[in-house]
């Protein structure tokens, strides 16, 4: 009996030690990531706009690159707002938010290219977080933030597909209103609109409900979500993308959006149990994202995974950890931290896909933000 007690105590001690080491690694990675992001913030408040945007002519459009630049600046601002109050960091947040409010609206890059929607969804999310930030409120920026968010929402509504959601290309129709929609960009839009509603800002309720219902429609019996919004969604067999192994990152973003919707009174299938299952699926199948990270061609890895799925999914997984009770979050904390920290470069940056010079910036921004939310899960 005494032997069993001793073994139990040793196991508890080992788990506690592992958690402490993960916390230390998390703190260090956040600080190093901050240092890199600070070095990339320019005098106007935005992160550096690429002088040599891409290696591929298809994405050499200036507005496409400005779309990613605005989105990356937004994610960096959210990463800083997810951290404890700090005077120097508050000034950086304010500069980034001022930049997002005063920059010219990103235009549609081309008839087939609607990457401007990435600028809309992430700047909306950054503005809603800023609308709930103490320093921003004290410095009387709330009114201009609300006004800018209203303009962005109006632009975003123009790109809501007849399928009910949003996407970043319009290849099928090249029409004013695109037909294609994806689950994951729709999830980001839903999060921004829900957070705007939480702040009491005016939101088009009908469009929001349609988008939430669209996400629910994308959900498959195995807990994954279809990549595109399909008339008849189905699980892909074999090496397809519409299953758990091809949808690890989509599961996290869509689950977070639908869990937030449920908290706000909307009908949603995502509760505590589904969050746990989605996180278990992420770490049980994480090798598929590991294989894809850093590969130069979109969708070239198993189950059509792309390198740029990596930090996107980990950011929303971090947000989900923050939603869990402390004891349940702890079981995922160490593997989560390891999956992010192992990607960090010597200069503090992180990279999952090289398309243009913003790759290290959005990687670090997503990585730092996710780590911050995961760390918060231990402080509940």
Domain boundaries, the chain: 18-379
pLDDT of residue 48: 80
Band of residue 4 on the pLDDT scale cut at 50, 70, 90: low
Evaluate whether 134 touches 109 at the Cβ level (below 8 Å).
no
In whole angstroms, what is the distance from residue 368 CA to residue 211 CA? 28
Tell me phi and psi for residue 174, to 5 degrees. Answer: 55, 30
**Inter-CA distances, 364 with 31, 51, 79, 296, Å:** 11, 19, 9, 18
pLDDT at 51 over 90: no
Per-residue pLDDT tens over the stretch 79-95: 999 999 999 999 999 99
| pLDDT at residue 6 is higher than 60 | no
pLDDT of residue 3: 59
The pLDDT of residue 372 is above 80: yes
The pLDDT of residue 318 is above 50: yes
The predicted pLDDT at position 171 comes to: 82
| Residue 12 confidence (pLDDT) above 70 | no
pLDDT band at 5 (very low <50, low <70, confident <90, very high): low
Burial (0-12, 13-18, 19+ Cβ within 10 Å), 296: exposed
pLDDT surpasses 50 at 287 = yes
Q: From 368, 354, 365, select the one nearest 122 (Cα to Cα).
A: 365
Reported as a single tens digit per residue, the pLDDT across 137-195 is 999 999 999 999 999 999 999 999 999 999 999 988 889 999 999 999 999 999 999 99
User: Class of 18-379 per CATH?
Assistant: mainly alpha
Backbone angles phi, psi at 223, to 5 degrees: 95, -5
Q: Read off the pLDDT of residues 93-150 as tens digits, 9 standing for 90 and up.
A: 999 999 999 999 999 999 999 999 999 999 999 999 999 999 999 999 999 999 999 9
**With bands split at pLDDT 50, 70 and 90, how would you rate the model's confidence at 57?**
low
The per-residue pLDDT for range 242-268, each reduced to its tens digit, is 999 999 999 999 999 999 999 999 999
What is the percent of the chain where pLDDT is above 90?
A: 87
- How does the average pLDDT of the chain come out, rounded? 94
pLDDT of residue 9: 44
**What is the arithmetic mean of pLDDT over 53-69?**
76
- pLDDT for 59 equals 66
Q: What average pLDDT does this structure show over 224-230?
A: 99
Q: Which of 30-34, 60-64, 140-144 has the lowest mean pLDDT?
A: 60-64
Average pLDDT over residues 261-283: 99
């Amino acid at each position: 009996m005494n032997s069993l007690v001793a073994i139990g105590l040793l196991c508890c001690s080992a788990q506690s030690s592992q958690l402490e080491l993960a916390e230390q690694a998390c703190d260090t990675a956040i600080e190093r990531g901050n240092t890199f992001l600070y070095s990339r913030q320019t005098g106007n408040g935005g992160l550096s706009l690429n002088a040599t945007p891409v290696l591929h002519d298809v994405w050499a459009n200036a507005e496409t690159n400005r779309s990613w630049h605005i989105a990356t600046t937004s994610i960096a601002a959210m990463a800083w707002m997810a951290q404890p109050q700090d005077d120097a960091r508050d000034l950086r947040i304010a500069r980034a938010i001022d930049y997002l409010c005063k920059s010219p609206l990103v235009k549609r890059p081309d008839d087939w290219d609607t990457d401007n929607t990435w600028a809309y969804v992430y700047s909306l999310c950054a503005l809603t977080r800023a609308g709930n930030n103490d320093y921003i409120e004290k410095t009387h920026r709330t009114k201009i933030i609300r006004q800018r968010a209203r303009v962005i929402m109006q632009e975003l509504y123009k790109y809501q597909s007849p399928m009910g959601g949003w996407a970043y290309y319009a290849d099928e129709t090249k029409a004013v209103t695109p037909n294609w929609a994806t689950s994951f960009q729709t999830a980001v839009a839903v999060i921004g609109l829900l957070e705007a509603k939480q702040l009491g800002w005016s939101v088009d309720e009908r469009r929001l409900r349609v988008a939430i219902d669209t996400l629910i429609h994308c959900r498959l019996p195995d807990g994954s979500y279809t990549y595109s919004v399909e008339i008849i969604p189905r699980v892909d067999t074999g090496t397809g993308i519409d299953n758990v192994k091809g949808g690890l990152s989509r599961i996290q973003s869509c689950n977070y959006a639908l869990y937030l919707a449920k908290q706000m009174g909307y009908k949603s299938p995502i509760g505590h149990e589904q969050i746990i299952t989605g996180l278990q699926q992420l770490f049980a199948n994480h090798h598929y994202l590991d294989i894809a990270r850093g590969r130069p061609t979109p969708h070239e890895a198993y189950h059509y995974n792309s390198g740029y799925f990596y930090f996107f999914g980990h950011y929303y997984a971090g947000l989900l950890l923050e939603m869990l009770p402390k004891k349940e979050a702890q079981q995922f904390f160490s593997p989560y931290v390891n999956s992010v920290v192992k990607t960090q470069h010597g200069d503090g940056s992180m990279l999952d896909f090289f398309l243009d010079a913003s790759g290290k910036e959005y990687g670090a921004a997503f990585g730092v933000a996710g780590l911050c939310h995961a760390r918060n899960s231990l402080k509940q």
